[in-house]
Structure 1
Amino acid sequence: MSDNQTESSAARAVADRMSEAAEAVLAGVSGTERSQLGWGWSESAERERRRWFYTPTDHGGLAVADMAPGQYRRTMALLATGLSEAAYATVTTIMGLENLLDRVEGFAGFSFARQRGRDPGQYRLRIFGTPGERTWGWRFGGHHVSLNNLVVDGELVSSTPCFLGADPAESPLLGAAVLRPLGGVEDLGRALVRSLDESQVAKAVLSPRAPTDIVTGNRASVGAGDRVVPVGGLFRGRFADPRDAGQMDAAHEAAERYYDITEADHQAVELTVEPLGVPASALDADQRALLLALLDCYTGRAPEELVEREAARYAGPLLDEVHFAWAGSLEPGPSSAGAAGACYYRLQGPRLLVEYDNTQRLANHAHSVWRDPEGDFGADVLTAHRAAHHS
């Protein structure tokens, strides 16, 4: 069997499990719940499918808080079909962090126009189309989680954008242990930038100050010139209460002032067509191994059967075109820029865009995203599919 046939077989096996799990979810709901959860495939549904968030806003769909225990369990079973074991563990940990974040904010933080602002029940599932048919997909999202999957002709063809965040990024545990859901994702980036020599650092480090968020935000598609989206623009519509809107705007402005972000800093990290940073072709063997390990933190989010397919996109000579860029502190802890270890990195290459940022809440609030600039939401596959079947 050829590599392509093996990949196709694996993608079909994953899609079959997804379809079975999604059908079980839909079979357990009716009435209003059904209309919130399941949407037919249409132009309006397609526009909605490409709307995604990583803030504690209404992500669209049926909230787990409104599910019976059996429905909730079947929903989590569907999530598991789209994630590796490590990714599933990370996602469920992130969901539980809402309880911890509520305590960090004194149980009196933002309300977000609901009874409880930091609420682990506000993760929502929506299924687009009919599982098992030619084209269908599903989305699961809430604060710091956004999973987007598309199945076409019986194969899982897209799992991006895939966003995972953590707030707090680091929390104490008993026994002098520490909870860091994205700790390895940051540590590998730091290890790579600290391994660079002077000439490599000159290419890789874009600014001594990290941006206050990932640069591409929650845009449906990414392009040259993208810059950080002010936090108020990352919600579904503006806030009904002007006080909430004012707080969000003030929080963004305060972060920019605290880190002394300038126009030059924004220009330095804005997205470009040609990747910024140091290319893998300029790295030695040990540095390339670090880069591959870092990439695995993102491609390794896919189901186990598809991890090799995702990793193969950057194997061998293809890795040479992946660029690594950094902004902010090179060391954890206070830096010359006045930022307590605030950092940002980007991996960019053919069909690849990765961003990691740990800046907010005094560098204890991490964001990470894995994207395919050409094929997010399966856009490239859908275009080809429509040309083949609807021309």
Structure 2
Amino acid sequence: MRLSCMRLLPFCLIVSLTSLCVAQERPRISQELQASDSPKPAEGKKKANANPLVKVSKEFLATLDEDQRGKAVLEFGSEKRVAWHFIPMATRKGLPLMEMQAEQKEAAMKVLRAAVSQLGYNKATTIMQLESVLRKLEGPGGANERNPEKYYFTVFGSPAQQAKWGLSIEGHHLSLNFVLQGNRIVDSTPQFFASNPAELKDDFGGKMTKGLRVLRDEEEHGFTLVNSLSEEQLTQAMLPGDTPTEIRAAGTPQPPTDEARGIAASDLSTEQQATLKKLMQAYTSKMKPLVSQRRWKLINDAGFDKVKFAWSGAKQAGREHYYIVQGPTFLIEFVNYQADAAGNPANHIHCVWRDMQGDFDLPIAAN
């Protein structure tokens, strides 16, 4: 009997190892599905539940004391939920990084990482670090205002699997706003990123190297598209009047409802349409894949041919320029008008993605 068992031992080991490999393989396959850019409809729920925002938000809040929670947590129905802006302020809603301990900061940054894509996280954290560059360029006078830890985290309501709640991460040149149903992001606008300087003209130490352009794609794809237009196409694309100095409806709860202007995607060549899509992807790719995919589904369902592109100002860097990309479901605005803190002209970008069906998961008619 012992001999039989010994003979069977290799077989048993093979079976056990095979079972172990299969068990270990399943998570890898699941991760590959979660990373897919084109999920099947049946996978949507699984992917939404894979987002750890509820978990990391609870963990962040658990690190806070009572006074800190009083700043970091507001009612979902609070008017402050729809009060957003990107300008420097003495104080904002929420709890800033500068009032957190190291463990709390780490937990807060996990919330940011869970809310956006890796690209979005990299851009957001680089924008935060640009505050140190501004401090150096502006001198002692900007010491209090320019602080890479002056970014505020606010949770609206209670993060829970079945609950509707909100999240805001905001400071100078960054405003990220989310409405969630459990772990599922149901709205992610306004989505605002900005950069001053738009391009670093000198080295400032660390990752702040000469030539750094946080919003390079948002600008370069715009230049590529406008410079590819024929004279006839330009007559449709160019906006009349002076170049706008700022995006419209900055800080308001809902986007401007003006009719879309410019040249329609249907009047662009195949190559130009591809460039337009790259330009739009520079904005959608800052969000999690499911959010990006949902935006593109809405765009395509409403008709990509209806998307319009409009331009104002110079068609090369170093001079003021502005563009709009607008479709039935979304609005992009980009402006590079102001000089940077060192005085270099048109080296200060503001850009935003807004929901033409309503920001903050609120119908436009409700505001």
Instruction: State the TM-score bracket (shorter-chain normalisation).
Output: 0.7 to 0.9
Tell me how far apart the structure 1 counterparts of residues 183 and 55 of structure 2 sit (CA, whole Å): 12
Tell me how far apart the structure 2 counterparts of residues 36 and 147 of structure 1 sit (CA, whole Å): 18
Matches within 5 A, 1:324-363: 324-333=309-318, 341-361=319-339, 362-363=345-346
Alpha-carbon RMSD: 2.3
For the 8 Å contact 1:279–1:321, the answer to whether it is kept is: yes
1:137 aligned partner: 166
2:273 aligned partner: 288
SS at match of 1:374: coil
**CA-to-aligned-CA distance 1:140-195 (integer Å, 9 cap, x gap):** 10000001011125521011101000011110355995111012210100110111
Q: What's the TM-score once normalised by structure 1's chain length?
A: 0.76
Pick the aligned partner of 1:379 from 358, 362, 365: 362
For the 8 Å contact 1:10–1:306, the answer to whether it is kept is: no
Deviation at 1:313, TM superposition (A): 2.8
Seen in structure 2, the aligned counterparts of structure 1 residues 22 and 317 have a Cα distance that, compared at 3 Å, is: closer
1:10 aligned partner: 47
Seen in structure 2, the aligned counterparts of structure 1 residues 26 and 145 have a Cα distance that, compared at 3 Å, is: same
Unaligned 5+ runs, structure 2: 1-37, 340-344
Tell me how far apart the structure 1 counterparts of residues 218 and 39 of structure 2 sit (CA, whole Å): 33
For the 8 Å contact 2:200–2:209, the answer to whether it is kept is: no
Pick the aligned partner of 1:365 from 345, 348, 352: 348
SS at match of 2:144: coil
SS at match of 2:255: coil
Tell me how far apart the structure 2 counterparts of residues 33 and 51 of structure 1 sit (CA, whole Å): 20
For the 8 Å contact 2:317–2:346, the answer to whether it is kept is: no
**CA-to-aligned-CA distance 1:183-233 (integer Å, 9 cap, x gap):** 221010011011111111111110464211112212111234xxxxxxxxx
Matches within 5 A, 1:1-391: 3-14=40-51, 17-42=52-77, 45=78, 47-57=79-89, 58-109=91-142, 116-132=144-160, 133-152=162-181, 154-172=183-201, 177-207=210-240, 209-224=242-257, 272=258, 274-315=259-300, 318-333=303-318, 341-361=319-339, 362-380=345-363
Deviation at 1:39, TM superposition (A): 1.6
SS at match of 2:57: helix
For the 8 Å contact 1:7–1:306, the answer to whether it is kept is: no
**How many residues in Structure 1 have an aligned counterpart in Structure 2?**
318
Tell me how far apart the structure 1 counterparts of residues 130 and 223 of structure 2 sit (CA, whole Å): 24
Range that drifts further, 208-217 or 47-56: 208-217
Range that drifts further, 171-180 or 87-96: 171-180
Larger Rg: 1 or 2?
2
Q: What's the TM-score once normalised by structure 2's chain length?
A: 0.81
Tell me how far apart the structure 1 counterparts of residues 43 and 295 of structure 2 sit (CA, whole Å): 13
Tell me how far apart the structure 1 counterparts of residues 354 and 47 of structure 2 sit (CA, whole Å): 21
Seen in structure 2, the aligned counterparts of structure 1 residues 282 and 135 have a Cα distance that, compared at 3 Å, is: same
SS at match of 1:149: strand
Tell me how far apart the structure 2 counterparts of residues 51 and 219 of structure 1 sit (CA, whole Å): 7
Tell me how far apart the structure 1 counterparts of residues 86 and 39 of structure 2 sit (CA, whole Å): 38
Q: 1:366 corresponds to which letter in structure 2?
A: I
Tell me how far apart the structure 1 counterparts of residues 255 and 209 of structure 2 sit (CA, whole Å): 41
Tell me how far apart the structure 2 counterparts of residues 19 and 103 of structure 1 sit (CA, whole Å): 38
For the 8 Å contact 1:12–1:156, the answer to whether it is kept is: no
For the 8 Å contact 2:86–2:172, the answer to whether it is kept is: yes
Q: 1:360 corresponds to which letter in structure 2?
A: Q
Tell me how far apart the structure 2 counterparts of residues 2 and 76 of structure 1 sit (CA, whole Å): 27
Seen in structure 2, the aligned counterparts of structure 1 residues 325 and 123 have a Cα distance that, compared at 3 Å, is: same
For the 8 Å contact 2:56–2:111, the answer to whether it is kept is: yes
Tell me how far apart the structure 2 counterparts of residues 323 and 22 of structure 1 sit (CA, whole Å): 38
Deviation at 1:373, TM superposition (A): 2.2
Tell me how far apart the structure 2 counterparts of residues 316 and 295 of structure 1 sit (CA, whole Å): 16
Q: Which has the higher contact order (CA 8 A, sep 6+)?
A: 1
Q: 1:116 corresponds to which letter in structure 2?
A: N
Q: 1:73 corresponds to which letter in structure 2?
A: E
**CA-to-aligned-CA distance 1:84-132 (integer Å, 9 cap, x gap):** 11111000000000010112223324xxxxx601111210001011101
